[in-house]
Structure 1
Amino acid sequence: MQSVAIVIPARYSSSRFPGKPLADILGKPMIQHVYEKAASVHNATVVVATDDSRILSIVEGFGGKGVMTSSDHASGTDRLVEVMSEVDADLYINLQGDEPLVRAEDLELLINAMAADKSIEVGTLYHSINADQAKDPNTVKVVTSHSGRACYFSRSPIPFIRDKDVQASYKQHVGVYAYRKSVLEKYTRLDESHIETVEQLEQLRLLDSDVDIYAFEVMPTGPGVDTPEDLERVIKILKGEQVDSEKTLLSNIELVITDVDGVLTDGGIYYDENGECIKRFHVRDGLGIKLLQQAGVKVAVLSGRDSRALRKRISDLGIDIFDLGVKNKEVACKDIIKQAGTTSANTVYVGDDTIDLPAFISCGLAVTVADAPEYIKSKCDLVLDKNGGFGALRELADKILIEQGKSKLLDDPSTFLKVHADVTQ
């Protein structure tokens, strides 16, 4: 077994937010939220590396482990190298102290991936984003090869779209790194590269020195905290309140992939006297699907089951992209996205149970219904107010249409009458 140390660099000084690690979030300093998430990772040693006695005192006060490091370090990786002399491990995870919404399962995914392939020297994470999000220079993008090796990181949108008829998918880099001890031992001897200086991205030093970085996909993450405004957003998220980012999430959706049992139906399975499976659908969901189609948003159906009743419903709704009797929903979603001619960043998947988790990873946005288990809700970007089979998909359709400025399809009689001939409930 490999020994793992999760090191959380935490500086007090910050040009945009001085004292950021100690900012209060629902009664706890931010650094404690990050520490507790890291401490829930199985068999990992967690330590905060700081240059300020106030942070060290707070960490020790809530029972955490901290070490004082030099205030002259240019980056969190340099601070991590100093910690190596006090904390011995085979694998070091660099976790930023301003990520209170970090998921322990993402850290474990990274650790397990490094354990599975000992040839990987440096690992990191990413998730899909849409084209508008890719324009933000504060959002670092990564391009990867088929094997997952990072080709380049940039603050610019990459890849660049030369032909406007060509679709591009964008990946946001999540600033969590896993290093083999051997890489950190030579890191400080590497010269700062020109591209690192230009982009102000320390990971480019490794690429420029022919050290490969492999990136592993996770679900979209919550925001980090760079400014006081970011802090308010995080607090709202932890309180379960709506944040402004919901408009960004839905305004670029081009494809909705929906599960059937538990989403389009109430999850009940009924059989007639001949043993034929009968399902109960909701007319509002059907109308919501037709309205999305009228607005140019494609709808696809993905189900682990197959039946004549389901095929009849799909036919009535005019859905021509579907996959039934599916065992691997991750692969099926990727095939559907390709068939629809869009990208994962512009796709939302609606599911309600554990079988849908692989599909959530394949799509840019994960949505679930109100009666889904809590552990499924925790994995999703949006939880609907309605239960599966009782208008949940219509609720999502309304949200998408409103965010995309197409609410006339919902509330304007004359507009609705123009498309009524093609509408099936």
Structure 2
Amino acid sequence: MKKVAIIPLRKGSKGIPGKNKKKLLGRPLFSWVLGAAIFSDLDEVYVFTDDEEILNYVEKEYHWTTKVKGLLRDDVNANDTASTESAMLEFAEKINYNFDMLCLLQATSPLTTAENINEAIVNMYVPNNVSVLSVVKTHRFTWNSDGTPQNYDVFNRPRRQDFDSLLVENGAIYMTTKDAFISSKNRVSGKIGLVEMPEETLVEIDSLSDWTMVENLVAARQKSLKAQQRINYLVLDVDGVFTDGCVYYGAEGELMKKFDMRDGMGLEILRQNGVEVVVITSENSDLVAKRMQKLQIKHTFLGVKDKYSFLQNFIDQQQTLWANLAYVGDDVNDLANLCTVGWSFAPANATAVVKQNVDFTLTNNSADGAIREVCEWIMKYNARF
């Protein structure tokens, strides 16, 4: 059974301009649900959008997986009045209905996980189910507009633990069979199974206040997943970690970056004690490539924008865990990783938002002993293992 997902995105957004590309915890909003889809049991995931910039980003950023594809959405199905169903129908026609199950994922629900998606897939195999949607169990009392209660007696208010909770559609996941979709032309139809997600996933991003709330929820979720084991990998950003964050340019382009020789010695000692060094940077710099070659860091990855998904793929390939990683970062594009790894560090001169979210703020600045300080900390920490 071929399981295909569509993530429909529109370039225009009135509530939050450029919403889908705006960074939530350092990642473009849409990349949260895209990343979840990549590491789920779906076979293909299509980013379906009228935004050429997003399509270019998808092509460049997810070259390490064959699962992700970008597909241009027609303007007529990307305006303010177009329905999601019209976009789904256009998409299905463009791929010649080459699927057995069609999954609709919403970028405005970044708390969706691979496990949630997999649960939806499992529910599609329940006898007689032809569709599945995600819901949240909530203990809320609802009212009619005329001031009458819908689901309880005001003179006999039930305790929360005794209340027959409501199941509310949260708009995160919808799944249906090809036959049901062709017949109904709707995201769900027939006998519908339900996938229960945590109550906090009820919040969808439609306004800036929603954005702030969800970003805090995502950060809290990532931190709640933290676990600590022996550190086997030290992951480093470059600008603002290896370097002082300054770049010197001449007429021919990038001329110079400042590195600290003591950091190099610390990394060499660390490798001699069984800790691999990984460098992930969003920049494509010949100077950085040469410096990492000099330091004999074989795991050097340049030009990576979605560092979180890339690092998750690296972890899977190395058959290790987030708990076995330490990470040093200095700016917002490192936030998702910093909130997830076993131990996270920021140089003393890192941005304020990063220092608020790491386990340790170092006493040294970047390019002035910060990496060496981390190396020495890891050596002491790993001694207990």
TM class by shorter chain equals 0.3 to 0.5
TM-score when scaled to structure 2? Answer: 0.47
